[in-house]
Structure 1
Amino acid sequence: MRFDNYPGSNMTIDELLEQLLAFRDARDWRQFHTLRNLIVSTGIEAGELLETIQWKTDAQIDALLGDPAQSTNLRHECADVFMYLLLVAHTAGFDLVDAAAEKLKLNEARYPVDKAKGTAAKYSEL
């Protein structure tokens, strides 16, 4: 998968993972990157992503996107979560894109359009 729709990027997920692993290994951080630690770190980074919108209204969040410093911070926090998810999947031995495609297929079955359209109800409540 190429990210051709994003300016400045024509990197695949596999290429990104390769660079991420090289970054980690050059710093001798593999010893710290146990599955447990990576999952914990993913949660911590997700919390930092939440902090970017904490106590803000939807209108304030929309305005945040127009502020270069705040939108860069949002982008970087998303990247942190994404990179940790890649490391979790790599360490656990599965392909994250395949897992996401599998989960999407499961969600399509759980949330058929005729029952789920226009509602935020959980699949067990449809």
Structure 2
Amino acid sequence: MKERLEMEKKQDELKLKQAELEMRERLAMEKMKTEMVKDESNTKIQSKSEYFDAAKNIRLFPKFCEKTVDKYFPQFEKIANNLKWQMPYWTTMLQSVLECKAAEIYSALPSEKSSDYDTVKQEVLKSL
């Protein structure tokens, strides 16, 4: 009788340990799922915010005119700032609308200088 009680007690302890292990395993799985969903949503948010659609944005600023170049840059900068464009995109967008002499000036700049917005702006303003 005593042996039977001890055996039942051990079986109950084993069942309890097994249930505890299963619960820990479920909790670990849920934690992993939560982290995966969190990482996935962060990746989606990050990739959307980092994507810059030049074709969509090019139509948002005015046509370049050499006669009013001094007024063009402040207007361009205002639009770029309002749309929260990152600075590396500014010269890409600007060079796509430059015409005539301004386009020649941009093309004549060395590669490292042509990617710096302030340098491009200074060179164009200086030459026109």
TM bucket, shorter chain:
under 0.3
